[in-house]
Every structure is written in C-alpha cells, then in structure tokens.
Chains A and B, each alone.
Chain A
Amino acid sequence: MSEATAGVAGLRAPEIGAQPRNPLPRALRPVWDGHILIADGAMGTLLQQQGLPPGGCPEVWNLERPEVVRRIHEAYIDAGARLIETNTFGATRLKMDAYDIGDRVAEHTRAAVEIAFAAAAGRAAVAVSIGPLGHLVEPLGEISFNRAQELFYEQTSAAAAAGATLAIIETMLDLQETRAAIFACRDAGLDTIVQLTFNQDGRAFTGTEPEAAVVVLEALGAGVIGANCSLGPEGLRAVVQRMARVASVPISVQANAGLPRLEDGRTVFPMGAEEYAGWGPRLADAGASIIGGCCGTSPEHTRLLARSLQGRRLPGLSFRDERLPTLSLASRMKALFFFDENLPVVIGERINPTGRKLLSRDIRTGAMQLVRQEARDQVAAGAAMLDVNCGVPSIDEAVAMARAVTVVQDAVDVPLVIDSPGPDVLEAGMRAFSGKALVNSFSGEEDRIERVLPVAARYGAAVLGLTLDEGGLPQTAADRLRIAARLVREAERVGIPRQDVVIDCLCLTAGAQQDAARATLEGIRLVKRELGCATSLGISNISFGLPERTFLNAVFLTMAIQAGLDMAIVNPLDLRLMDVVAASRVFSYRDIDSRAYIQRMTPRKLVHTLDEAEVLLRKAGVLATAPAPAAETGGDGDRAATGGGSNALQASTSPAKRPTAAALARQQAQAGLVKQTGPDPERIPKDALLRKLYDCIVEGDKDGIQEQLEKALGRGDNPVVLLNGALIVGMEEVGRLFGDGTYFLPQLMLSAEAMKRAFARLKPELQKLKEGQTEAGTVVLATVQGDIHDIGKNICAVMLENHGFRVIDLGRNVKNDLVVAAAREQHADVVGLSALMTTTMPQMKRVIEMFKAEGMDIPVMVGGAATTRHFAREIGAAGYGRDAQEAVAEAKRLVGG
C-alpha cells in the first residue's frame, strides 16, 4: 500500500459485485432447489377452451368462474410448474374500462391472488401477472409516467394486500412503461420478475436491446429478468443468450408455442408440446434459469418441458462475461459497458447553458431545438454519453430538465449524465430518462449525500462523486482518496454498488494552482488502485487563464488517460481532444489494429469538410467579414473562450448556423479566390420560399424540397415560376459548382435526386395548366454498339431530364440502326452518344454517317472518357460534352435554348 493511502487502510474492495446485485425474490426461495425452475404457460387460451368467449375479459372469471381458473393453475402445478401466475395480465384500469369494470381492478386482483395461492397450496410460488397498460407512455404515447405508475399501483397494491410478494411484469414493449410498473411494484412492496417481448431484430418494440434491458432493469432492482411471448423459443434463445452474458440475476423465458398464424380467423400457435419441450434444454444452454410457456402453451407443454429439464442444474453466472461487474449505463436502446476496450468514454459537455445566450433561451422557452441539435452533433462527433444541464436562472429547472432529457433521448441513443445541483432537478431528469443514467453529482458534503444518493438509488442511477467535502477542496491526492472512500461507503450504504460510483478527482485551474494538476492525476491513480472505482474528470478547467487552451486541455487529457481516467467530460467537437482520445486508444491497445483511429484519420487526409473549409477560409481572412457569429450565437462564443474547449468552430458547428457549401463558394468568389462564372446573383430568387426551394436543390435536400414545394403550391404559386425561377436556376448553380470542382459527383447526384422529386410533384400541376410544353426538347441517348459502360451516359440522362429535356435512354451496347430508328420515331431534337474507349468510338462516326445517309438533320453530340472536342469535330459531331454538365449546355445550345 502506498504512503498516500496509509490513512484509509482496509478500503480495498476487490469483492465488487461478487454476489448478484439483487436478491432472489422471496417467493421463489422455498420452491427453488438449485434446478431449473419450471413456470406455467398460457391462461387466456385455456379459459377460452373452458367457454370464455373470444374477446371476453379473462379477469372476470376470477369472480364469476373461480373454480375454472383454479383448475388451470392446478393443472400446471400437477404438470411440474413451480411458478404460477395469477389471472391478472389485463387487470389494470384502462384495459378493464373496455369491459366497463375499470373501477373493479382491486376486487379482481385480490380474487385472482387468492385463487392462485389456494391452488398452489405451497407447492408453487405465486407471481402477480402484470401486463402492459395497452397505451404507450410518454414520450412515445400520451400517458404520463406518473399516471402509468398510478395505474399499475392500483393493481400492485391490491395484490400485496391479498398476500402476494412477487409480481411478474411481462410482455412489456417499452422500457419506460416497464419502469413505471417496477416503481409501482416497489411502492407496494413486491419483488419483481421483469420480462420484455422482442421482435425478430432482437430488440423490444421500442428499440431496446437485450443488454440495455438488463442494465436498466437490474439497476431498478428486478430479481429476475427475461423475455416472453413474441418469437417462440427458437427466436428467444438468442435474446436469452445476450441477457445471460451481462446479467447478475437469473434469466427467465416464457416463449409462445411458435410464431402465431391466422387460420379461419383464429390465431393458431403451431408448436406442439413435444417440440416445445425439445427447446427446454437449448434455452437452459443459452442461460435461462426459469423456463415456462406463453401464448399457445398448455399443461401438456409444461409436463413435457419439466421432463426434458429434469435434474438440470441452475446455470448461475456461468454464462456471464468474465469482465463483469463493471460500470454499465444505458439509453433506452443501448447499453454502454465500461470494459477496457471502450475506454476512455467521452461525455459531451455542450448541453449546458452557462454563458450561452441562445441555448439559454432555447431551454427557457422549452423549444429545445438547439438542445436536440447539440445532442446530435456531439454524438456524431464521437460522444458516447451526453451531459445534460439546464441551469438557466429563474426557470423551473426540474420541468426544463425533464423536457430536455425527453428531447435528447428521442434524438440520440446514448446514456445521459443528469447534471444539476438540485436534487429535485436530478429526480425529474432520472424519471424522464428511460435508461440508466449517471447522476452528476454528489460530494462529501452531508447535505448532498443525504439528498442525492437516496434519489439516485431509487432510480437505479450511477452516481458521480466529487472529491470535496465540508473541508473544501482537497489539497493532495491522499485527501482526494480519503473523500472518495467516504463517497463509496455512503453510496453502498443506500444500496448503490461500488461499480456504479464514479469518482471525480477535481480538475483545478493550473494557472492558479499549478501543483493541483499533479494531485489530480495522482488522485486518479490512487482511486483506481485502492477503490477500483471508475473515474471521471471535467477537463477544461485546467487551462483557464492560460494561452492555447485547446492544446493544454489535450495534453492534460492525455496525462489523465495515462493515469487511468475512464471518462472525460469534454467538448467532442474539439477535434484535437477527440484525436487525443483516438490516439490514446491505439497506444493502450484498446483500438485493435488501430482500426478506429485509421477510420477517423483517413478521410481527413483528403476530405475537405465544411468545418475544415471554414477553418481554412478564416485563416485566409475570407470569412473575417462574414456576419459576426455573435449576432447569431449570442454569448455562445464566450463558452468557447472560458471552458468547454476552445475549438474555433464551436460557435458554428450547428448545421443551422453552418454556412452552406454554396455559401462558402460564393464567399470565396466574393473574396476573389474563385472566379465567379455562374449565374448572375440577381437570378437567385429573392422571395424567401423560392429561395428555400433553390437552396434545397443546391444542397441536394430531397426531403426538404417536398415540404417547401407544398408550401409554395399551397400559397398559389405558379408551378412554371417554381420550375424556372427556383429549381432550374438551382440546378444551373449546382452545375457551376460541379464544373469548377467545388462540388463532386455525389453532390451533383443528390441535387439531381432532389430535382427529380420536385419535378415529379410539379408535373401534374404543369399539365393542369396545359403547359407541358415546358420541355426543353427530346434527346435520344445511347451508349454505342459494342460498349457496355453506361454510368456516364446514365448521369447525362439524369441531368438532361432535370433541365427539362425529355430523354429517351436506349441503354448500352445499342446497335447503330436502332439509334437512327429511335431518333426518327421519337422526333429527337438531339442525339447523344457515349463511348468509353477507342475501340468503340468509331461507332459514333458511323451513326453520324447513317443519319446523313438517311437525310436526317438531327444534331449528334458525343462524350465519354476517351473522346475529345477535337475527335468530335473530326467525326462531324454537332456537339461535345466533357461531362454531364457540359452535355446539358451542349443540348441547350443545339436546341437553341
């Protein structure tokens, strides 16, 4: 043990997570003898066999035909089931309202519990079945989280009052609804088995992957986690496997008897009892500890299943990834495990209104548009988590936090860090977040410990602990370790396991306290070594007041990573910092074969992105006279100067603010860097809506253009004006940008796709006006006889169509006489011929000669890799196009346009 840790001897705790995080549900302990536990199967279909009419309410029979329900329970127990479920799957108010018995939830639930206990008679455990509400919870549906919890509590409290101690929350589609059900169970004192239903893509209905489900549900205290219904045993086996790999609690599975099909209007489950039972050992092999049935199964399925699993021992944690337990977080969709290969994790810091006027306004008004954009930008830049802080003065921060979390988790699928000094704000954020969050933060101050930790524990969140206490900021690394040890103890006291405690050794300003930087780094080393906790650090404070902050931040981050830092709260739009992270992953052998690093760096060798272009233009002074960013960003620039990294691009990385490629080109032209040869700026539409249409074409925005087009048509614009005044002008600008190399081929094609979509919408409107004659002319196109390369010709066809030509594309390897015949039949105004190599170029001359021989005066233009203007002249062609854009210009010239 090092000298620095002498005062905290005995803190080493390598026993992290040696036991499953959550205890086995009380009700299961008497019936679970170390072997696979058999659960029962379907209830509804058996009730129907006993006379319940299709569509009838199964729960009604708890009161009207209790003896039938009891016999079914007994049949399952006799067949070998040691876990049975009450007949309460739909016993929640919204579902029972459909039968006008919504006010009798408690009565039916109590009856069902009593029937099940009577049937079990100590031979089997009883679990209260809780199914979905039938309506999705916010933000996916209209029921608020609080209302959902109330609805579930109505059921769970009645069940608990009747003596139940265990609930099985099953067939759940959505993690947020599942969370509400779990809270309702916990409030009623019920242990939980939680089962989601999965689609064929291996995700729950609302996108949750099995690993994410485990991370979230385990953190919320589920004693057993699993899957039911959905795919049948074959399809659920993979889900079970994925869950078992990351879970510390037993895994359960209750599959349908195969995938259902409709026969004569009835739902039929095709899998017989014997076949179903054959899947039992395979599900056990996949890691299931509790195996039962769902829709379409019967006591016979249970009997054979029990027989197939007789004597089969529980798998325990033998399927589990040996690197667990470790810190794990999750969004609604995905889990993030802090395995070594995933480190260091970048937490995006930019959703923080401090010093950012526009973002403050966005949060204050509840618009959250910038919040959403910041979330997307940061994740696109490589952030694996996002910090969300809504600290705007004089607002209801809890409401803002809930709204921001909802917006962010809708926009991206990374885990969130809920960041606020207010415990009520933290709770609002955790409540709104469907995943497992990291709470930022608590500290050694008594008030923070008492107010933050219990809330975090209730929501199953991990916690970020700052190494400071009533004594203020720690001076030494040992001080940091001492406080960290206390933070871990306090967290464990309220049930937050050590792996869910993240320690922040506090990054102070090197300009003011130079020795503190070393203490921070040493503190990280000590905490990692002595406590085994994950560590986090907000980096940008280190450089405050010093020049070249981005550089200093990057160096300090490198040193912190070397010291063992697991996650850093930084500005992911700071390229230098992100490069450091990528490079560190290479040298720490986390990025195997440097694949991620190479992928990150390779495009930048060549690709001149808009951001890089802007940097270059700023350096060149070209953008110095551009509209001042402050006008758009308010105080956002201050943020870059005072913290959160000092990337010069910070204030302009949002697409909403980012200058378009066309705008950059125009700025270049205005600065004299590029010769302006395009259309007169006066031709660019002045009308705002027409300008948007024009921009959609220039930017290749095929989705946006439809919306703008509908708006324009909706206000009564003449489609001819739209076509000629915005769309064609836009295509001409695109052609100019392509011609001078500002655009490359995919941009030309994206604009063509936008134009095609717009033209398809305008065409019927033009026909209504009987102005179909807006066609510029007819062009017959072909790749010549013997030539099978047609990509260039295809591009020409697209571009010609987008400029209003009627194009008859004859394809490739077209015989010469067919070209002549088609030109005649289609009354072609121009014929275009393409050839790749010298071997087929002579065909062009032959076609021209055939036209002459036939006495047809149709101009022929040629193009292709090996052709030249000189060659075109030699063979008597009327026009030549080096590329598609030139082909359009030539065609227009030839038809006199």
Chain B
Amino acid sequence: MAEGATQALAGGRTIPSSEVPFERDAVLRALGYRPNKTRASEASLAAVEQGMRQAAGLLHPLVLYADAALQCVGPDAMLRVPSLDLHWRSPALTAMLAGAERVTVFAGTVGAAIGDAARAAMQRGDYALGVVLDACGSAAASALAERARHEAEAWARARGCRVTAPYSPGYRDWDIADQEPLLRAIEARRIGIRTSDSHYLLPEKSFCGIVGWIRGLAEAPQASGCAICFLPGCRYRRMPPVGDPGTLLPAIPGRG
C-alpha cells in the first residue's frame, strides 16, 4: 500500500498507510479463488502478482475518526450524538449499541486511482489486470476498515472500554441515507469521500460506520462481518453461514 498518503486531520485520527497490510489472500478471495478447489495457472497467478504490484502504487489510504458521547433518548429509543449533531432511529442499531456510552464514527477510503486504473485496464483489453486491480482495491478497503476498527478498539480499551461490532448505514434497518449526515459530521470530504444521489460512496473503494464504547473490558468479542451476514450463495464468505437466513447485504463494495 502506498506510503505517505495519510495526514494529520483536525478532530480525528489517521492510520498510517504502512500499517494497513495488503493481503494476497484477500485479493484472491475477492477474485473468486476457492481454497482446495481452484487450480490457479501460473499465468493467472502472475497476473495477480502484477496487479498487486501496480495496485501498491495506486492506493492512497485515508481514515478519519471522531469520538463522541452517545445518548439513547425517547420512548422509541432514538440514538443521538449531540456533539456531532447526529441522530438515528434504528431498532437494530439501538440493540447493537445497547449499553454504549460513546461511539467512534469513522470513514475511510483507498482513493479513486485504483478504480480508475481497473476501468482503464478493462477498456484497453487487459481484462485480467482489470479484475485484479479491482479486487486489490476491495481487499485494501476491507483491510483498511479492519484496521480502523482495531484502532478504535485500542483507543477505547485504553480508556477502559470495549467496543461493539462495527456497523454501517445500510445494515438491516439502518437507513443507508444516514451515510450523508455521518460523513458530514466528521467532514469526510476532507479525505475526498462523498456520496452519490443514490447513496453510493465515492470513491468506490470507501467505507464508513460506527463502533460503540461499552464501559468495562469484554470477555468475548462480539460477532461481526460474515458471522452476522446470511446472504445466500455469497462467494466472498469467509466462514460457514450460521443461524437463520436474513436479509443482510454486504456493505463493502467490490462487484457491480
């Protein structure tokens, strides 16, 4: 992942790009590689390596955070973050944040260059390179999101708190339109993140969400990611599906 892209941002904290490992496994997974099943040819692996090398120079990771006190008010359990002028009404979110005193709001991106390069490769007929670059962007964005969660967790632990699983607008009953105020609250435009009219994050390889802080250190981590997702037939699943199928959809982009 490219160095030097992060910068100190007032009101938040940043993650150095060097601390966001760019995992080959994740790239392969995003490309539909199936362990013990796929038989990758040398040429295809070479394309992956080539794409990863190119991608390393195209990724410009940036993350923003803001911590603030959380209030749960009213009979319908509306959540409010007064200092950031945020308020949400989502039973699922309220359940997720049960017991939380504070939240960390975060947003991150690996930049637009990787998506542009993937598109350009497809247009000139370098199809394999195009899909690999796209997968690299997705893998990097996922890694960055994971790193952001760890950073928030460490920040909270240092203050005697544990954190909830990360959660994003669009999950379950949390309105995806709530991305806009969330991004606005932490001034995500400073790192180039915005939304389209149809609530897509731009650049494509971007994310945003929150984690709640709960007083006291946890005995066991909360489930998140694939563990709480039941999308049938998802080829990006990292673990066997458990529980009842629901209507959750993947929030991290990567296919279109």
Q: How far, in whole Å, are A752 and B127 apart by their CA atoms in the complex?
A: 7
Give bound CA distance, A753 to B37, whole Å.
Answer: 23
Nearest A-chain residue to B249, judged by Cβ: A866
Residue on A nearest B45 in the bound complex, by CB: A607
**Cβ of B243 < 8 Å from any Cβ of A?**
no
**Which of A738, A752, A837 meets B200, CB within 8 Å?**
A837
Contact indicator A609/B40 (Cβ below 8 Å): yes
CA distance A610 to B40 in the complex (A): 7
Chain B min CB distance to A757 (Å)? 8
Interface 1/0 per residue, A638-668 and B, CB below 8 Å: 0000000000000000010000110011000
Decide: B198 and A700 in contact? CB cutoff 8 A: no
Return chain A residues, CB-CB under 8 Å to B31: 744-746
**Interchain CB contact under 8 A, A864 and B256:** yes
- Once A608-B40, A741-B32 are accepted as A-B contacts, the answer to whether A795 and B127 lie under 8 Å apart by CB is yes
Q: Is B227 located at the chain interface by the 8 A CB criterion? A: no
Contact between B125 and A788, CB atoms less than 8 A apart: no
In Å, the complex CA distance between A605 and B250 comes to: 26
Q: What residues of chain A lie closer than 8 Å to B204, measured between beta carbons?
A: 788-789
Q: Which of B6-14, B129-137, B156-164, B180-188 contacts A (4 or more CB under 8 A)?
A: B129-137
A608-B128 contact, Cβ under 8 Å, with A744-B33, A787-B200, A834-B256: no
A794 to B25, alpha carbons, bound, how many Å? 24
CB distance from B53 to the nearest CB of A (A): 12
Complex contact B37–A608 (CB within 8 A): yes
B233 contact set on A, CB distance < 8 A? 882
Structural contact, B200 and A789, CB atoms closer than 8 A: yes
Q: A603-B45, A812-B256 are in contact. Are A790 and B176 (CB under 8 A)?
A: no
Picked from B40, B127, B232, the residue with its CB within 8 Å of the CB of A749 is B127
Task: List 18 additional contacts besides A606-B35, A700-B41, A783-B256; criterion CB under 8 Å.
Answer: A606-B28, A606-B33, A607-B33, A700-B128, A742-B39, A744-B28, A746-B40, A746-B45, A747-B44, A749-B127, A749-B130, A752-B127, A790-B256, A791-B122, A798-B122, A834-B256, A864-B255, A865-B256
Q: Tell me the complex Cα distance, A812–B38, Å.
A: 31
> Could you tell me if A836 and B38 are in contact, using CB atoms closer than 8 angstroms?
no
B residues less than 8 Å from A785 (CB atoms): 198
With A608-B36, A745-B32 already in contact, the answer to whether A788 and B131 are too (CB < 8 A) is no
> In the docked arrangement, what's the CA distance between A714 and B152, Å?
66
Contact among A738, A750, A836 for B47, CB-based, below 8 A: A750
Contact B24 A602 (CB under 8 A): yes
Interchain CA distance A864-B48 in the complex, whole Å:
23
**How distant is A870 from chain B, measured CB to nearest CB, in Å?**
10
- B236 nearest CB across to chain A (Å): 9
Give the shortest distance, in Å, between A810 (CB) and chain B (any CB). 14
User: Are A607 and B256 within 8 A (Cβ)?
Assistant: no
Asked whether, in the complex, the Cβ of A749 is within 8 Å of the Cβ of B128, the reply is: yes
B16 proximal to A (CB < 8 A): no
A661 near B41: Cβ-Cβ < 8 Å: yes
CB of A774 closer than 8 Å to a CB of B: no
- Using Cβ atoms and an 8 Å threshold, which residues of chain B touch A791? 118-119, 122, 130-131, 134, 255-256
Which residues of A lie under 8 Å from residue B135 when comparing CB positions?
745
User: Which one of A605, A741, A753, A787 contacts B127 once the chains associate, using CB atoms below 8 Å?
Assistant: A753
Residues of A within 8 A of B (CB): 602-603, 605-610, 613, 655, 660-661, 664-665, 699-701, 738, 741-747, 749-750, 752-753, 756, 783, 785-795, 798, 812-813, 834-840, 864-866, 868, 882
> In whole angstroms, how far apart are the Cα atoms of A515 and B140 in the complex?
55
Q: Count how many chain B residues have C-beta atoms less than 8 Å from C-beta atoms of the other chain.
A: 49
Q: Do B197 and A836 touch across chains, with their CB atoms under 8 A apart?
A: no
With A and B bound together, what is the CA distance between A309 and B45 in angstroms? 54
Residues of B within 8 A of A749 (CB): 47, 127-128, 130-131
Question: Is A753 a contact of B128 with CB atoms below 8 Å?
Answer: yes
Complex-state Cα separation, A358 to B50, whole angstroms? 34
Q: How far is B122's CA from A288's CA once the two chains are assembled, in angstroms?
A: 49
Please state if A750 and B43 are interface contacts (CB–CB under 8 Å).
yes
* Residues of chain A within 8 A of B34, CB atoms compared: 741, 744
Query: Are the CB atoms of A789 and B37 closer together than 8 Å?
Result: no
Distance of A606 Cα from B28 Cα, bound (Å): 8
Q: Is the CB of A788 within 8 A of B37?
A: no
Cα A837 to Cα B31 in complex, Å, equals 19
- Report yes or no: B199 in contact with A839, Cβ–Cβ below 8 A: yes
Among B37, B48, B130, which residue has its beta carbon within 8 angstroms of that of A741?
A: B37
Smallest CB-CB separation from B31: which chain A residue? A745
Let me know if B256 and A793 touch, CB within 8 A. yes
List of A residues within 8 angstroms of B253 by Cβ? 789, 836-837
Q: Are A836 and B43 in contact (CB under 8 A)?
A: no
B residues less than 8 Å from A606 (CB atoms): 24-25, 28, 33, 35
B127 contacts across to A, CB distance below 8 A: 749-750, 752-753, 756, 795, 798
Contact A839 B200 (CB under 8 A): yes
B122 & A794 in contact (Cβ 8 Å cutoff):
yes
Q: Which residues of A contact B232 (CB under 8 A)?
A: 868
Establish whether residues A608 and B38, one from each chain, have CB atoms under 8 Å apart when the complex forms. yes
User: Which residues does chain B contribute within 8 Å of A864, judged by CB atoms?
Assistant: 255-256
B32 to nearest A CB, angstroms? 5
In the bound complex, CA of A750 to CA of B121 (Å)? 13
**Chain B residues within an 8 Å CB radius of A868:** 232
Tell me, in angstroms, the Cα distance from A701 to B44 when the chains sit together.
11
In the assembled complex, B91 has its CB within 8 A of some CB on chain A? no
User: Chain A residues near B202 (CB, 8 Å)?
Assistant: 788
A835 CB contacts on chain B under 8 angstroms? 256
Residues of B within 8 A of A699 (CB): 41, 43
- Does B83 reach chain A (CB closer than 8 Å)? no
Q: Does B244 touch A at the CB level, under 8 Å?
A: no
The 10 closest A-B pairs by CB, nearest first: A789-B256, A786-B198, A749-B127, A749-B128, A746-B44, A865-B255, A745-B31, A661-B39, A741-B34, A741-B37
Does B76 have its Cβ within 8 Å of any Cβ on chain A?
no
Quote the shortest CB–CB distance from B27 to chain A (angstroms).
10
Q: Give chain A nearest CB distance to B62 CB in angstroms.
A: 19
Q: How far is the CA of A812 from the CA of B200 in the complex (A)?
A: 13
Q: Which residue of A lies closest to B41 (CB)?
A: A661
- Is the C-beta of B219 less than 8 angstroms from some C-beta in chain A? no
A742-B256 contact given A606-B24, A749-B130, A788-B202, CB 8 Å threshold: no
Query: A745 to chain B: which residues have CB within 8 Å?
Result: 31-32, 131, 135
Asked if residues A756 and B134 are in contact (CB atoms below 8 Å), the reply is: no
Instruction: Give the chain A neighbours of B196 by CB distance below 8 A.
Output: 786, 788, 813
Does any Cβ of A come within 8 Å of B241's Cβ?
A: no
Q: Name the residue on B nearest A785 (C-beta).
A: B198
